[in-house]
Amino acid sequence: MERLGKNRGIANLESPTDSRKSLYSSFVWTDYKAQLQKRVRAEDLPKYFHLTESEKIGIQETIRLNVGTTPYYLSLSDPEDPNCPIRKMIVPRREESFFSPEETLDPLHEEDLSPVKGLTHMYPDRVLLFSNHECSVYCRHCMRGRKVSDSSERMETADLELCFDYIRNHPEISDVVISGGDPLNLSDPKIDWILENLEKIPHVKICRLGTRNPVTLPMRVTSDLCKIIESHNTDRLSIFCNTQFNHEKECTSEAKEAILKLLKAGVNVGNQCVILKGINDDGETMLRLHRKLLELRIRAYYMYDPELIPGSRGFRTPLAKGIQIIEYMRGKVAGMGIPQFVNDLPGGGGKVSLGPNWYLGFHKPSRNHVFRSAVRGTYHLSPEPVDSEYEEFYPEISEETWSKLLQNSYSAFKGLGPLGGSGK
């Protein structure tokens, strides 16, 4: 991690607002290549923020990936407010300088599950392809800091060809997730070449692009890029896109334009957010985000529990937070706006979903299941089929609990009235 030492030696400058205006007017705003060329680095941050002491220490002593943001994503942040959610994802803080005992470079053991450089084969039917090591913005919570912004992780054409060879030789693989870095930071011809190779492998039916560029550099989603994607989105290969919006401030008109272009190219777009301490770790913030995402025509997919990566203690939240958030959201937004709360298990165990306990158990004598309503908090009974052979499968509810709930429970024969009304 010594490569991060170049983030030292920062001088303070005044007028972040004026500095921002000068930056924004110095190039064509909609030119994504210019956005990348004008990326703000660690040494530039004092020009654009009134830094706190914690941020100064974080910039100088971070043990994580390099610092960088596009001017576009910078424009979503507040130069004065250290609690700005976008700012927290751009600027390192003091917590990034600590390698805590519970943290490790590769908590998911992806490298142990890598048969060739740049490919992780954790699940039988799918692989994760690391297409490159660069991103438009180096998010401080990035789970792959060991790879991202590290030039030694560059994927050359020969490396990618070895990945394709492995996929060709394993017919059980039907689904390829292209990640990085950010695959959309590659050139159009390189993206075209990667998709063409995947489309030619008969047993590969699904390709998922994992990109944050609709959030951090939406102007990268050009008409030319969408034509390339659409040309490979055929009856032989179905292309999806999973992006990562973490806060409603990221749901801009530019982001919506990028998403609409992808949708018109036939690409379904899903969102994988991460619960981040002090950014989105409460039900109302997540609810507002996912309502905005539906307006952008993005369906909820995953909500991740943060990984045990170096310098991430300042972002991690108790496991209960995720369960509370899902419980809060249920009934307040359509189901397609509620993500699955998942933990990607340390040690390479894969993802498991977690959620509130809506199911209380099975009352064997009456053959009824007891549920708690997410909308009302009331209790509801649902019978097991008479010919079922699964009675021993369910956790049993006690007679004491059953007696308490029975008089105030609802069923197919006793329903609730309108919200705020009484049952009948």
- 228 in Cβ contact with 265 (< 8 Å): no
Residue 142 assigned to a binding site: yes
Separation of alpha carbons 332 and 321, rounded Å: 18
DSSP assignment of 180-239, as one string? Answer: SS-GGGS-HHHHHHHHHHHHTSTT--EEEEE--HHHH-GGGS-HHHHHHHHHH-SSS-EE
- 209 in Cβ contact with 183 (< 8 Å): yes
Separation of alpha carbons 194 and 161, rounded Å: 9
Separation of alpha carbons 268 and 257, rounded Å: 14
Tokens 């894969």 locate to 350
Tokens 């549920």 locate to 371
The neighbouring-strand residues paired with 340 are: 302
Q: Which residues in 316-327 are b (16+ Cβ under 10 Å) and which e?
A: bbeeebbebbbb
Residue 84 assigned to a binding site: no
Query: What's the one-letter identity of residue 285?
Result: T
Identify the burial level of 42 via C-beta atoms within 10 angstroms of its C-beta, where 0-12 means exposed, 13-18 middle and 19 or more buried: buried
Query: What's the one-letter identity of residue 259?
Result: I
Separation of alpha carbons 184 and 269, rounded Å: 14
**382, 383, 385, 390 alpha-carbon torsion, rounded to 10°:** 90
369 contact partners, CB below 8 Å, separation of at least 6: 359, 361, 362, 363, 381, 382, 383, 384, 394
Reduce the DSSP state of residue 148 to 3 states and report it.
coil
Residue 273 assigned to a binding site: no
Q: Which residues contribute to the annotated binding site for [4Fe-4S] cluster?
A: 135, 139, 142
Q: Which residues contribute to the annotated binding site?
A: 135, 139, 142
